[in-house]
Structure 1
Amino acid sequence: MDQIDVRTQQLEGPSRQLGVSRPPLTVEDLPEPEEVFKVSRLGARQLFMYALGPSLIALGISIGSGEWLLGPQAVGQYGFVGVGWIILVSAVLQTFYNVEISRYVMATGEAPVVGWGRVPPGYLLWAPFGVFIIIFAFIAGGWAASAGQGVYALVHGSIAPSGAEEPRLWAIALLVLVFLMTLFAKRISRSLELANWVMVGAILIGLLAIDLFIVPFDLWWEGIRGFFTPAAPPAGITATQLGALAGFTALASGLNWYVMGHYRDKGYGMGYRTGFISGLRGESSGLRDSGVTFGDDAANAGRWRRWYRLLLADQWGIFFIGAMLGMLLPTILMARAVELSGKKPTTANVPTFVASALDAEYGRGLFYAALIIGVLILFSTQLGIFEAMVRVTTDASHANSPRLRRLLDGDPRKFYYPFMLVLLVAISIILHLALPVNLVQWSANMSNLGALIFPFLLIYLNRQLPKVARPRPWHTVLLLANVLFFGFFFINFISDFFGDPLVTF
């Protein structure tokens, strides 16, 4: 990346330096939510139609690898008690973490991967590292391979044989579908929101209907009770399995920041002043390469509190509740499938285990219903992860390389779409290399590595925001709790990978 000389930046109007190595933030007023969403009044109807939504993209990813693969597999093999409380703690900590990441995005209009470049020693370390860890964690493609298995079963009416090539070809076809969805969008984030409104709604309604039909009350109660019962993990489960479950419950633990940049594109807070990545059908928004913040005055403080309340509603009202339902409904369905079949899911068959069990007991109707839900779950994950890898790389490259911006004529789409094609080819090769759930477990534990690093960067940045936007001390305590909880699982994963795990049960 080209060297950025902050001393030669010509800024119009007041500015405020935040951190090191990147240009100062221009100071402008926060917009009112009504100005951003183009409504005269932000009531309940307008709230759901226009204001809420970025958390749905995160939720579409969330109700995926953890909720459909790792959680059901763990519960199917070991039961609810001793597993459920890890799910709850993970979801609570991650939602707090999401709010803190989004606090920075709203206060500066910068995507997190751009903000990391303001942390000492500067962007030459943190921007490439942020891109690398996201690509490294998710390029394995387990989420894509699992979706391909579901599509194969839908097409053929049977489970794919071990090692079959066709499921991988379906996974690649779904990657192409993601590319086309972004290609023909006017505003990419808005298109992802609308797609996830449909998919997440269909997933939760479909799961609820099937669970009400076939899952007895005692299993519902066991699932709910498991969330709130502190107990030692069950005998036989490994801390590596629990780490994968914790890492991909809710979203991606320490790497959740890779999705929170959608608050900028939605126009939350100062994101309205910095622009967004548009699709080819939309006009280029003039995405700024550096952020904008606001002054410490009463008018801006009042507007900030309004934006912060919207953020809390989006994260706790949609993301957290949706993530908990997204874990409860599939896991109790898996527990019922285990009862019906007399078998337990394995790493190889967990993507289609429930559908097979329902087929044997209830016939083809529920078999196909479960498969459709599974494909929607895994495709919504595929959509969010694939696009986010491209988005993070585009944001980092566009913000930190003046030479690239000149080459692109200031239009990040000229980087976004070619890089997406390159990534599509790379994932298509890599997903041939291992079982889907093994790939997902790898990604989840890489997510836990992020929890050892990025909360500290976030603490540094958020302490320098305008006074009204700065976090309270207990927010910092919760960020450190993320470090301890998810960091333990990553250290155990490394210990297990090279020898013996730190803990066995």
Structure 2
Amino acid sequence: MGTAMTEVQRGARTYPLGVSRPELAVEDLPTPEEVFRVKRIGFRQLVMFVVGPSLIALGISIGSGEWLLGPQAVGQYGFVGVGWVIVVSAVLQTFYNVECARYVVATGEAPVVGWGRVPPGKMLWIPLSVFLVIFAFIAGGWAASAGQGLFALVNGRVADASEVQQTRWYAIGLLIVVFLITAAARRISRALELSNWVMVGFILVTLVVVDLIVVPWSVWWEGIRGFVTPAAPPAGITATQLGALAGFTALASGLNWYVMGHYRDKGYGMGHRTGYIAGMRGSRRELMSVGVTFPDDERNASRWRRWYRFLMVDMWGVFFVGAMLGMLLPTVLMAQAVAISGEQPTTANVPTFVASALQPEYGSGMFYLLLLMGVLILFSTQLGIFEGMVRVVTDAAPTLSPRLRELVEGDPRRFYYPFMIVLLVAISVIMHLAVPVALVQFSANMSNLGALIYPFMLIYLNSRLPKVARPRPWHYVILLLNFLFFGFFFVNFVADAFGDPLITF
């Protein structure tokens, strides 16, 4: 570590970091004004150009945890004992996201590539990381849930048991829409950002309006109180349900890193030097296979602090606030829907439960509005997860295979789009295995597995960055808390799956 810093101070052109990967090149950090092509970054420029990767992450999070798992848990068990798990998970995940993004901004490397620098090296960690992401999300529960909602929106009613296959066809159709969005883009990350600006904005505004109309203040208070009241989990909730809620609150716990590569494509920090994945309409853009870091001098230290402030605004000001609103608003609405209908949501009907429960009292207009909102919520998740899986493999594969790197010739689109088609076919087959929310619960618990691995890898990598970019000591403590919190839920999930859980509620 010390040798690396000395070389940077002497103006060396490379910076050794970790094992089994080439040394990082060394160049000055760009200024935010240079990256976003503006004279100065004010509030307007911040919203229009700087904020972005958090919206892609938020679009994913609102669909899985906030619209499905959180409301289902609250609808069945109430707020107290469930709400604090949501808050703790969101806080820990946002800290974890910042640490994942720290590495990307400081090196321009996507996390899946950076893992190859951790001993024993790339031949273990990169294939394992790709496997964990694909294994966690390929079940397609997020896609099947979106298909359920779209079927109800088109047909004006919830699908019955004999029509499950039709909902899957709708889900496959939405996967094709994701392909078309990426294909029509000039820069894929920007297309995802703009899509989520529209969808997430509509979702949150609509939820606020509907909740103010439908939900009494007593239920609002119960929701807020449940978030801030530490309490034992409610009797009857299973380890799988609680672990899924913890895993998919905010994003995907230990696997959140698979989305953080968007900071590279956005051009944050050294991501501006390494390139991005262009859409079919974009010009050919070479994506560097090895990252770049910056000299350890005062000019670059000042620029780093500015980038880090923007990262904090994006993560805490947009992602965390949006995730908490995205969890509170659907859960209080679900609680009121349960009170009105006198029924409980199940894994089979939770994607459309609120719309069906409120229809008798508020009419078909409310029914269709909530179905439309549900489709947008679940499609934003589908968009981010499906593209994220393709992105992770696209970043990883050329790193491991020199032959593939030659075939791609620096243009990742040559791999990205063919692999997206292969993955689309695979998910279309696999989603037939179980009901959608059961698949989502499986994915969420598999996400917790990542918390047993990646916090330690981040500690290794981030402690070796240029001095100004390194985390403070208490950041390492937060990473260890991620390991303990989410790791507990994963271990309990495995024990529950193969016998008796370690702890019952």
What TM-score, normalized to structure 1? 0.97
C-alpha deviation, 1:189, in angstroms: 0.2
The residue number in structure 2 matching 1:26 is 25
Residue 311 (structure 1) aligns with = 311
**Is the CA contact (8 Å cut-off) linking 2:159 and 2:167 kept in structure 1?**
yes
Corresponding residue for residue 188 of structure 2: 188
Q: Is the 8 A contact 2:266 2:272 kept in 1?
A: yes
Tell me, yes or no, if structure 1 residue 360 matches structure 2 residue 360: yes
What is the CA deviation profile of residues 449-486 of structure 1, one whole-angstrom value per residue up to 9, with x for unaligned ones? 00000111110000100000000110000000000000
**Could you tell me whether the CA contact under 8 Å between 2:285 and 2:410 is conserved in 1?**
no
Give the distance between the partners of 1:172 and 1:250, measured in 2 at CA.
25
Q: Partners of 2:74 and 2:489 in 1: how far apart?
A: 18
- Deviation larger for 253-262 or 352-361: 352-361
Q: Map 1:85-484 onto structure 2 (within 5 A).
A: 85-163=84-162, 164-484=164-484
User: Deviation digits for residues 240-295 of structure 1, max 9, x if unmatched?
Assistant: 21100000000000000000000000000000000000001001221000000001
Q: Deviations over 1:154-212 (max 9, x none)?
A: 11111101252110000000000000000110000000000000000000001111000
SS at match of 2:352: helix
RMSD: 0.9
Per the alignment, in what secondary structure is the counterpart of residue 501 of structure 2?
Answer: coil
Amino acid at match of 1:380: S
Alignment of 1:57-72 (within 5 A): 57-72=56-71
8 Å CA contact 1:247, 1:445 repeated in 2: yes
Tell me which moved more, 314-323 or 397-406: 397-406
Supply the distance in 1 between the matched residues of 2:139 and 2:466 (Cα, whole angstroms).
39
CA contact (8 A) 2:185 2:280 kept: yes
C-alpha distance in 1, partners of 2:13/2:40?
31
Superposed displacement of residue 360, structure 1: 1.6
Match of 2:5 in 1: none
What is the Cα deviation at residue 238 of structure 1?
A: 1.4
DSSP-derived class of the 1:26 partner: strand
The aligned amino acid for 1:293 is T
- 1:39 corresponding residue in structure 2: 38
In structure 1, distance between residues paired with 2:401 and 2:289? 9
Within 2, Cα distance between the matches of 1:437 and 1:484? 26
By how many angstroms is 1:361 displaced?
1.5
Q: Residues 6-55 of structure 1: CA distance to partner in whole angstroms, max 9, x if unpaired?
A: xxxxxx96101100000000000000000000000100000000011110
- Distance across 2 between alignment mates of 1:373 and 1:156: 16
Q: How far apart, CA to CA, are the structure 1 residues paired with 2:419 and 2:340?
A: 46
The amino acid of 1:159's aligned partner reads V
Kindly, what percent of the aligned residue pairs are identical?
74
**SS at 1:165's partner residue?**
helix
Alpha-carbon shift at residue 405 of structure 1 (Å): 1.6
Q: Residue 156 of structure 1 aligns to which amino acid in structure 2? A: N
Contact 1:67 1:249 in 2 (8 A): yes
Partner of 1:7: none
C-alpha contact (below 8 Å) 2:254/2:450 kept by paired residues:
yes
Segments ≥4 residues shifted beyond 6 Å: none
Q: Is the CA contact (8 Å cut-off) linking 1:64 and 1:380 kept in structure 2?
A: yes
Cα shift readout 1:116-152 (whole Å, capped 9, x = no counterpart) = 0000010001110111000000000000000000010
| Alpha-carbon distance in structure 1 between the residues aligned to 2:151 and 2:18 | 50
Say whether the 8 Å CA contact 1:148–1:170 is kept in structure 2: yes
Deviations 1:219-246 (A, max 9, x none): 0111111110011111111122110000
CA displacement at 1:75 relative to structure 2? 0.1
Q: What letter corresponds to residue 235 of structure 1 in structure 2?
A: A
Give SS of 1:350's match: coil
How many angstroms apart in 2 are the aligned matches of 1:114 and 1:422?
Answer: 22
CA distance in 1, matches of 2:284, 2:274: 12
Q: Secondary structure, in 3 states, of the residue corresponding to 1:500?
A: coil
SS in 2 for 1:504: coil
Name the CA distance, whole Å, in 2 between partners of 1:33 and 1:497: 48
Partner SS for 1:503 = coil
> How far apart are the structure 2 equivalents of 1:243 and 1:408?
40
What code does the residue aligned with 1:217 have?
W
Give yes or no for contact 2:107–2:291 (8 Å, CA) kept in 1.
Answer: yes
- Give SS of 2:25's match: strand
Q: Is the 8 A contact 1:337 1:354 kept in 2?
A: yes
Q: TM-score, normalised by structure 2?
A: 0.97
- The amino acid of 1:399's aligned partner reads T
The answer to whether the 8 A contact 1:20-1:119 is kept is: yes
**Secondary structure in 2 aligned to 1:363?**
helix
The aligned amino acid for 1:76 is G
Distance in 1, Cα, partners of 2:239 & 2:123: 35
Check whether the contact 1:277–1:284 (CA below 8 A) recurs between aligned residues. no
Find the aligned partners of 1:217 and 1:314 in 2 and give their Cα distance.
31
Whether the aligned pair in 2 keeps the contact of 1:340 and 1:357 (CA below 8 Å) is yes
Structure-2 separation of matches of 1:288 and 1:25: 11
Match of 2:488? Answer: 488
**Does the aligned pair in 2 maintain the 1:143–1:436 contact within 8 Å?**
yes
The answer as to whether partners of 1:16 and 1:25 remain within 8 angstroms in 2 is yes
Partner residue, 2:53: 54
Provide, for residues 390-420 of structure 1, a one-character-per-residue CA deviation record: whole Å limited to 9, x for no partner: 0000000123322112112221101000000
Counterpart CA distance in 2 for 1:13 and 1:98 is 31
Structure 1 residues 288-322: Cα deviation after superposition (integer angstroms, max 9, x where no partner): 00000001000000000000000000000000000
User: What is the CA distance between 1:85 and its match in structure 2?
Assistant: 0.3
State the one-letter code of the partner of 1:298.
E
Structure 2: which 5+ runs fail to align? 1-10
Secondary structure at the aligned position of 1:67 is classed as helix
Contact 2:90 2:324 in 1 (8 A): yes
CA distance in 1, matches of 2:366, 2:501: 40
